[in-house]
Structure 1
Amino acid sequence: MNVLLIGSGGREHAIARALSKSALLTRLYAAPGNPGVAETAELAPLDVSDHAAVAAFCAERRIELVVVGPEQPLVEGLADFLRAKGVAVFGPSKAAAQLEGSKGFVKDLCRANAIPTADYQRFDDEAKALAYLRAKGAPIVVKADGLAAGKGVVVAETLEEAEEAVAAMFSGAFGKSGAEVVIEEKLEGEEASFFVICDGERALAFTSAQDHKRVGDGDTGPNTGGMGAYSPAPAFTPQIEARVMREIVTPTLRAMREMGAPFQGVLFVGLMLTKDGPKLIEFNVRFGDPETQAMLPRLEDDLLALMRAAATGALPEKPLRFSPQTALTVVLAAKGYPGTPLTGSAINGLARAGEIDGVFVTHAGTRREGDALVAAGGRVLNVTALGDTAQAAQTLAYRGVDAIDWAEGFCRRDIGWRAITRET
C-alpha cells in the first residue's frame, strides 16, 4: 500500500516508525513531516489545509490510505473531502471531529446520554460566565470551547485565577476558540488516558497511558502540551477499562451514529479516576502527543493493517497485542516553553542516544540547516525507552536524554513518578 501521513510532530514520527514495519507498506509519504519522519518516509511539501492539493497528490501517487495525525485537518473536514474522492482515511469526519473541536458539544452529548462527566455550564456572554463563577467559587475549571493547541484549559485554584481565564478567553486569547467557554466542576482523582480504535460501528480497545502536563518537576508550573508520558497506566485496571467501554465509549459511538456522524479513527478518552468511578474529562479525535510515543513501541500488531481495517469498517474481533513492558517518554523542550521558545539552537548526540539498546528518539520540533539539526519549536525531541518496570524504563530513558548535547533544551527529571511510586 502507498500511504500518506499528515502531520509534523513527535506523534507523526512515532506513527511513521510503526507504519514502516508493516509488510503491507509499499511506500510512505508524509506531509509536511520533519527530519525524523524523513528517515522512513518521503516528505511531500503539501499545504494540508489545501484539500484539493492533498487529493491531487493522492491521485498522482496512488495513495490507498491517508493517516491524519493532528486534529486541525480533521476539524476542518479533510477526511470528508478525501473520502468523497474515493480515498480511504484513518480519521473522523468533520461532524464526528466535533468530539474534540467543541468542548460544549461533548458536554451536551454526555448530558443527553448519561455519560459520567463533570457538572458544567456553557457561556457565550462574559458577564454571565463571571456571575456563574462567583456563584460556584473555586477550585473550578475554565475551558475555551474550540481548539487551542492543548492550552485552552485553566484549572483555577482561586476565583481570581478563574476570572482572569474567562476574561482572557473572551478578549481573544484563543481567537474564535474562546468565543464560547465551558465552566465545569474540578474533578478529584488520578488522570489517565485511554485509546480506542473505531470503524464507525465498533470500538476496539487500544491501550492506556498517563502524561505529565505541567512544565516543572513535581507537577508544578503552567500546563503544556505534555512533558512526558508512559504506557500502560498502572491505575487503569481491566475492571476500569470495561467500565469505560460500557459507560463512556459505547454510548458515545452510538450517539454519533444516531446523529449521522459515525466515528472512524482513534478516540482518545481523557479520564479522571474518581472515587465514584471513571469520569470523562475530554475527548480527542487523534492519538495523543506524547502518549503515542510511549504506546506504539509496545504494539505487537501491524499498525497499518489496523488503521486500514478501521478506515474500511472492518475492525478485527480479537484483542490487540501489546508488550507487557512499560514504555516511558521524556520530552525535551526549548528554553522558554510553554511561553516563547528559543529556536535555532543546534542539537547533537542523537545517534549516540539511539545506539542505547531499548531507546528511541523521535523528532517533534526540529529542522535541518545544512548539516546541522536545530530546534524549531517548543517541544523539540522525545526520548522513549522500554523496560520491564517503570523504574527501569525511566532510568534508560534518562540515559538517552543525557547522551544528547543540547544546552538550550530542558526536560523534567521525574517522568513516570506515579507509576514508580506504585512499584515501590
Structure 2
Amino acid sequence: MKKIAFAGTDGRTMLSALIVSTAKSDEYPEEYQGVVVRGTPAMPRFAELMNWPIDFIPTASNSVEDYAGGLIQAIGDGKIDYVVPMPEALLFDGMVDMIEQAGHGGRVIGLSKAGAFIEGDKLKGKELCRTAGIPVADSWLEVDAKDYPTILSSCLNLIAAYGGAVLKYPYSAGGKGARIILNAWQIREVYDTLINDYRDAYRRLFGKKNRWPLLIESLMSGVEISFTILVDAGGNYQILPTAMDYPERFEGPASKDNPITGGVGAISPHPMETARLIQMAGETIAAPLIRTMKEMNILRPCILYPGCFVSLNSAKEPTRIRVSEINIRPGEPEAQPVARRIRNLGALVEATA
C-alpha cells in the first residue's frame, strides 16, 4: 500500500489525507494510505474519535528545517512514499531543495525555491505571464509604495479607463494582499490601510530607505474561477474539477469596507464550469505556463493554482480568460471540496510524482 503524505496544519491537509485513505475508484483499485505530516495537536485525537484511517507524523517544530528533516527521515524509514507540501511558505523557504539534496526529490510534489517566485513575487509572476503570452489584467505597473503622488495618478487613470484599480502587496500575504479601489474617494484610505498592514514586512525586506515595490493593476470584470493543475516532470498536466471560494469578509462585493480574506468557504464545481472552460484554461494558461517553466529550467512535479477572471456570453460560454495571480500549492479552502469529488486522489499524486 502506497502512503501519500500531506504536510501542513490546516483543513485541506487533513481532509486530503482522509480522501486518499477512503475514496474508492473502479479504474484505480489500488489502496492508498493518507498521512498528515505535523498537523495540529487536536488532529490525531479527532481522527481517532471519528474513526478516520489517517496516520500522523510529527515534526519537532513548524520550521522548514524540521519539516524537511522529518520528511527525509520518514521517507528513508518507509513511512511515506510521496508528499505534497500544502503551505506555500515551505516552498518559498526551500523545503523541496532540502529533500532533493537528501536524494528524495522524486518523492515530493512542489516547486523548488528557484521556481517559488511564481507565487512569492507577483511582479515576477506578471513578467512570467508576459513571457509566456498568458493574458492578465489589461494594464498593470510597478511603483514605489512610498510614492503616493504616482500611486494617486495611476489609480485615477485606471479608474477612468477600467472602472477600478487594485493595489497589491506583491509578496506572500496569505491571500489578503489585494485591495480594490472603485472610485477616487477611496484611493487614500485604501492606500493607507495597505501600507499600515505591510509596513513592517516592507521594512524587513527592503529597509526604510530603499524602494518598496507595489503592484497596481486595472480592475478585472467577469467571473472569478480558479484551476488546480497537477503537473509532472515531463510537463504533462491534469486540470482538476473547479471550485469557488467566498473570499470577502462580509456578504456583498469586495470593497474597502469588505476586505478580501484568505477564504471563508468554498464549493465545487464552480457554477460556470464547462468542458469548454477547462479546455480554454489548458490552452490559454496551463500549456504556455508549463512550456515557459520548462524553458526556464524550473519545471518539476508540482501543483499550479491560477486564479482567473472569465468573461461569458449570453449563453454562459467562456469568451475570455485572464490570470489574476498564480499560486504553487492547492488552494485553501477550495482544495477541500475539490478533494471530496476525486475518487483517485492517491493515484493522481503518484502519477504526478
Give the % identical residues.
26
Query: 2:12 — aligned with what?
Result: 11
State the TM-score, normalized to the length of structure 1.
Answer: 0.67
RMSD, matched Cα? 2.4
- Aligned partner letter, 1:149: G
Post-superposition offset of 1:160: 1.8
Indicate if the aligned counterparts of 1:195 and 1:267 stay in contact, CA closer than 8 A.
Answer: yes
Candidates 249, 265, 286, aligned match of 1:249: 286
Candidates 259, 266, 284, aligned match of 1:229: 266
Candidates 164, 167, 175, aligned match of 1:142: 167
Instruction: Give the distance between the partners of 1:104 and 1:135, measured in 2 at CA.
Output: 17
Query: 2:227 — aligned with what?
Result: 194
Query: 2:38 — aligned with what?
Result: 31
2:106 is equivalent to residue 106 of structure 1:
no
Aligned pairs, how many?
309
Indicate if the aligned counterparts of 1:253 and 1:263 stay in contact, CA closer than 8 A.
Answer: no
**Match runs of 1:367-378 below 5 Å:** none
Indicate if the aligned counterparts of 1:46 and 1:54 stay in contact, CA closer than 8 A.
Answer: no
**Match runs of 1:1-400 below 5 Å:** 1-21=2-22, 23-25=30-32, 28-33=35-40, 35-36=42-43, 39=47, 40-47=54-61, 48-50=63-65, 51-87=68-104, 88-118=107-137, 119-124=139-144, 126-127=146-147, 130-137=149-156, 138=159, 139-157=164-182, 158-165=186-193, 167-168=195-196, 171-172=199-200, 176=204, 179-200=212-233, 201-219=235-253, 221-274=258-311, 277-300=320-343, 302-311=344-353
Instruction: Give the distance between the partners of 2:202 and 2:336, measured in 1 at CA.
Output: 27
Instruction: Give the distance between the partners of 1:57 and 1:263, measured in 2 at CA.
Output: 22
Post-superposition offset of 1:105: 1.1
Indicate if the aligned counterparts of 1:12 and 1:37 stay in contact, CA closer than 8 A.
Answer: no
- Aligned partner letter, 1:91: G
State the TM-score, normalized to the length of structure 2.
Answer: 0.80
SS of residue in 2 equivalent to 1:232: coil
Alpha-carbon distance change, 131 to 165 in structure 1, aligned in 2, over 3 angstroms: farther
SS of residue in 1 equivalent to 2:292: helix
Post-superposition offset of 1:230: 0.7
- Give CA-to-partner distance per residue, 1:89-147, whole Å, 9 cap, x none: 022222222211110111011122221101211234521x6404423414211111111
Instruction: Give the distance between the partners of 1:75 and 1:146, measured in 2 at CA.
Output: 11
Question: Runs of 5+ in structure 1 lacking a partner?
Answer: 312-424
Indicate if the aligned counterparts of 2:165 and 2:180 stay in contact, CA closer than 8 A.
Answer: yes
Instruction: Give the distance between the partners of 2:86 and 2:198, measured in 1 at CA.
Output: 29
SS of residue in 2 equivalent to 1:309: helix
Instruction: Give the distance between the partners of 1:144 and 1:84, measured in 2 at CA.
Output: 32
Instruction: Give the distance between the partners of 2:273 and 2:213, measured in 1 at CA.
Output: 33
Instruction: Give the distance between the partners of 2:251 and 2:197, measured in 1 at CA.
Output: 28
SS of residue in 1 equivalent to 2:228: strand
Moved more, 253-262 or 135-144: 135-144
SS of residue in 2 equivalent to 1:187: coil
Moved more, 14-23 or 32-41: 32-41
SS of residue in 1 equivalent to 2:279: helix
Alpha-carbon distance change, 242 to 176 in structure 1, aligned in 2, over 3 angstroms: farther
Post-superposition offset of 1:2: 3.6
Post-superposition offset of 1:227: 1.4
